[in-house]
């Protein structure tokens, strides 16, 4: 094991939903690959025993990918458990005993954000933070003020290069491919600017509701839950300038500059929606104004992107479960051919299909056979999925990177605060939600938001853009 690698993995919230669905499957996968041979310490306030946690871990794996007998046996042997209240100093004393001399542990806060500061301070007082790393689950704050306060608390205990603000979206293969595609291909750079790009639109939609997360969603909403983090990260990868040198620090700096160049949102830049039936969900207020859908128009005031509108939307209970980016190019400046600027449909575009079938496609017009100079728009697929290859899951990749001290796929303090500064003006000052039917594409008011630049593309798996 590398001398700088973490020598113990501690995860707070070991009995919670995130651990059940994501962390235990990731840990088993890492053990199966031979990437995890350190003590694994679960911490929770559930009144459980170690045997109970092992049973919980097995149940998690049975429902999330399956149990690998050999890997699970190793996971069970490496697993430890500390039970106690996070506000009780004795809990952290027991954790220090469980660490049993580990000198570089990593602490993963898979807990409610309201407890982040409490746990960080508890680790410091018990002497568990020295030379340690900390992984902080999103959301990192709920507005600019709280993000700054949380950064202040965490930075008072851990240096910046030991803080890993996790956004699992950055660990997805198709998201990392956006960065690679941008800067590994020379043909893209000449057209990747305001002179050739008319607009950019993103859709990240889910075909289910909030499930049992009513209490969480009432304090969060779609803008905070998805757009301010997931979609903003994709915007940054698409809009950033080439890094001045190799290394993740340079990438982080360029991404931060994108957030800093984003124009702060105004109420008219935003359409908020709520699916019919949301107010009947458990733990949801009967008169709730929380959005389960959000569409916004964004501008980046930089030399490259000045005047180019970016349209982002996301929502629950929409028609399809899809994720896509459509970069709309401007039509040719001269109508040499009558149909080179189509009366209906779209001019050339680049499409990043992120889910369910990852692909990158370029739309170009091709002449039909015959004497007439007329043609059709076809998609040229540049990258497609490769069936049969086992992909490393986002949490597996990100946890491994944090243990190794690799911060490439995590967000930095200044980037987090810059992103919050963009949405902060509309978190409290905004128009009321518009109701929309489940399994639709959201409220019709979102169509008016984008009307000046065309219409939303409603992605359907396997369908070419019209």
Which residues are part of the catalytic machinery? 230
Lookup: tokens for 152: 């202040």
Q: Please give the DSSP secondary-structure letter assigned to residue 39.
A: -
Rounded-to-integer distance, Cα 273 and Cα 222, Å: 9
Rounded-to-integer distance, Cα 197 and Cα 328, Å: 6
User: Can you give the length of the chain in residues?
Assistant: 466
Angle between helices 413-423 and 232-239 (to 10 degrees): 110
Residues 6+ apart with CB under 8 A from 312: 201, 202, 227, 231, 235, 294, 295, 296, 298
Per the DSSP assignment, residues forming a β-bridge with 134 are 107, 163
Q: How many CB atoms sit inside 10 A of residue 386's CB?
A: 8
Q: CB of 459 within 8 A of CB of 203? A: yes
Q: CB of 95 within 8 A of CB of 68? A: no
Report how far apart, in Å, the C-alpha atoms of 259 and of each of 220, 301, 409 are. 21, 10, 17
Angle between helices 24-32 and 50-63 (to 10 degrees): 80
Report how far apart, in Å, the C-alpha atoms of 216 and of each of 181, 232, 281, 282, 345 are. 36, 21, 12, 11, 40
* Phi, psi dihedrals of residue 186, rounded to the nearest 5°: -75, -25
3-state class (DSSP) for residue 134: strand
Residue 115 CA from chain centroid, whole number = 21
Q: CB of 465 within 8 A of CB of 349? A: yes
Interstrand relation of 270-275 and 434-436 (parallel, antiparallel or unpaired): parallel
Rounded-to-integer distance, Cα 281 and Cα 290, Å: 12
Residues 6+ apart with CB under 8 A from 180: none
Rounded-to-integer distance, Cα 166 and Cα 407, Å: 10
Closest CA to 320 of 458, 412, 135: 458
Rounded-to-integer distance, Cα 222 and Cα 295, Å: 10
Report how far apart, in Å, the C-alpha atoms of 322 and of each of 175, 317, 319, 354, 372 are. 14, 12, 9, 8, 38
The alpha-carbon radius of gyration of the chain (Å, integer) is 24
């Amino acid at each position: 094991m590398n001398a700088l690698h973490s020598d113990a993995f501690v995860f707070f919230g070991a009995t919670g939903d995130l651990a059940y669905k994501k962390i235990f499957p990731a840990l088993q996968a890492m053990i199966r690959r031979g990437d995890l041979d350190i003590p694994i310490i679960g911490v929770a306030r559930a009144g459980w025993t170690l045997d109970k946690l092992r049973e919980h871990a097995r149940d998690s794996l049975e429902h999330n990918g399956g149990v690998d007998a050999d890997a699970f046996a190793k996971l069970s042997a490496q697993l430890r458990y500390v039970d106690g209240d996070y506000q009780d100093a004795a809990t952290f004393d027991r954790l220090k005993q469980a660490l049993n001399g580990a000198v570089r542990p990593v602490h993963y806060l898979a807990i409610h954000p309201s407890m982040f500061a409490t746990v960080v301070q508890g680790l410091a007082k018990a002497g568990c933070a020295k030379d340690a790393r900390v992984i902080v689950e999103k959301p990192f704050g709920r507005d600019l003020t709280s993000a700054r306060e949380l950064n202040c608390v965490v930075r008072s205990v851990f240096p910046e290069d030991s803080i890993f603000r996790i956004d699992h979206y950055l660990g997805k293969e198709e998201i990392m491919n956006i960065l690679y595609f941008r800067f590994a291909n020379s043909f893209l750079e000449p057209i990747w600017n305001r002179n050739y790009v008319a607009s950019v639109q993103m859709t990240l939609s889910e075909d289910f509701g909030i499930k049992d997360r009513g209490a969480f969603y009432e304090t969060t909403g779609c803008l905070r839950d998805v757009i301010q983090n997931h979609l903003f990260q994709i915007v940054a990868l698409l809009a950033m300038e080439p890094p001045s040198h190799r290394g993740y620090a340079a990438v982080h700096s360029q991404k931060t500059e994108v957030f800093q160049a984003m124009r702060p949102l105004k109420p008219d830049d935003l359409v908020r929606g709520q699916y019919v039936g949301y107010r009947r969900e458990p733990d949801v207020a009967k008169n709730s104004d929380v959005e389960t859908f959000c569409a916004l128009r964004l501008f980046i005031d930089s030399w490259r992107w000045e005047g180019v509108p970016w349209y982002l939307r996301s929502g629950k209970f929409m028609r399809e479960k899809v994720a896509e980016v459509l970069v709309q190019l401007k039509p040719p400046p001269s109508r040499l051919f009558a149909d080179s600027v189509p009366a209906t449909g779209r001019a050339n575009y680049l499409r990043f299909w992120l889910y369910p079938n990852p692909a990158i496609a370029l739309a170009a017009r091709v002449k039909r056979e015959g004497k007439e100079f007329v043609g059709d728009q076809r998609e040229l697929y540049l990258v497609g999925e490769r069936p049969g290859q086992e992909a490393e899951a986002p949490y597996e990749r990100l946890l491994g990177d944090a243990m190794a001290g690799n911060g490439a796929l995590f967000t930095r303090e200044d980037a987090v605060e810059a992103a919050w500064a963009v949405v902060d003006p509309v978190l409290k000052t905004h128009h009321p939600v518009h109701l929309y039917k489940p399994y639709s594409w959201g409220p019709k008011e979102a169509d008016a938001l984008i009307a000046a630049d065309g219409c939303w593309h409603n992605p359907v798996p396997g369908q070419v853009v019209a």
